[in-house]
Amino acid sequence: MDLEMTNAQRAEVLIHALPYIQKYYNKIIVVKYGGNAMINEELKEAVMGDIVLLSLIGIKVVLVHGGGPEISDMLKKIGKESRFVDGLRVTDGESMDIVQMVLAGKINKNLVNLLQNKGGRAIGLCGVDGHMIEAVQLKEELGFVGEITNVNTQPILDVLEKGYIPVISTVGCDNEGHTYNINADTAAARIAGMLKAESLISMTDIVGILRDKDDPSTLISKINVSDAPELIHEGIISGGMIPKVECCIEAIRRGVSKVFIIDGRVPHSILIETLTDEGIGTMLV
């Protein structure tokens, strides 16, 4: 079977995408970038290409990223062990320096570079820039792990207005000059909410929310926010998925129209979710 697309088929694909392009044109989409798609080089290239494409057709994409595995690697290199409490990294002063270095330095600038190599225009920001993510200490035993008190969207809007893709690392700050490690899911949800984004796309390492976790055909393609507590109670949403879904619900309560949980391991999953009928993950409304 010849898998080469004909020009007519290519045209057909573009025509099918047209209503979606119109729907999202000039609107803001926040992409929370994490999981395997951040580690696998081929997937990383695909994600950056997707974001540049969306940006070039007039969609305002805001990229929010974490970097847990890279932080753990760097801490290991200096002989520090990573400790977690309820899924959050215990962050002492020395660890916080590393977190800031890895997130706001290495990862952030690498992503900016990749986007630019794909023909996009990107500017890297962290939550400290323009006092964008204001935070206080979440719990004493976690050290410099922050709880967001406010998101100042002006720096993001300024960058978008000039035609750049803002790439945001989730480091927060307070008025005393302390910096905090902020959970990337939480930050992306708050940023999307404050921007009143058209959608928030959360990239994960699962296909979406499944009725039966061992059977991909039981994907729940749409969940109403009011049904989520019942799904948690039934154990359908469980473990590390609970805080992710809670962040998604928070985004919708703050004014985001739709939230998608998609499988970042599928190449071009962002485009499939944004520009086609099918979509591939779970949508929360």
Active site residues: 32, 35, 68, 185, 244
In the chain, the largest separation of any two C-alpha atoms, in whole Å, equals 65
Give DSSP secondary structure letters for 77-133.
Answer: HTT----EETTEE-B-HHHHHHHHIIIIIIIHHHHHHHHHHTT--EEEEETTGGG-E
CA-wise closest residue to 60 among 163, 153, 133: 163
How far apart CA 50 and CA 44 sit, in angstroms, is 10
How far apart CA 259 and CA 280 sit, in angstroms, is 13
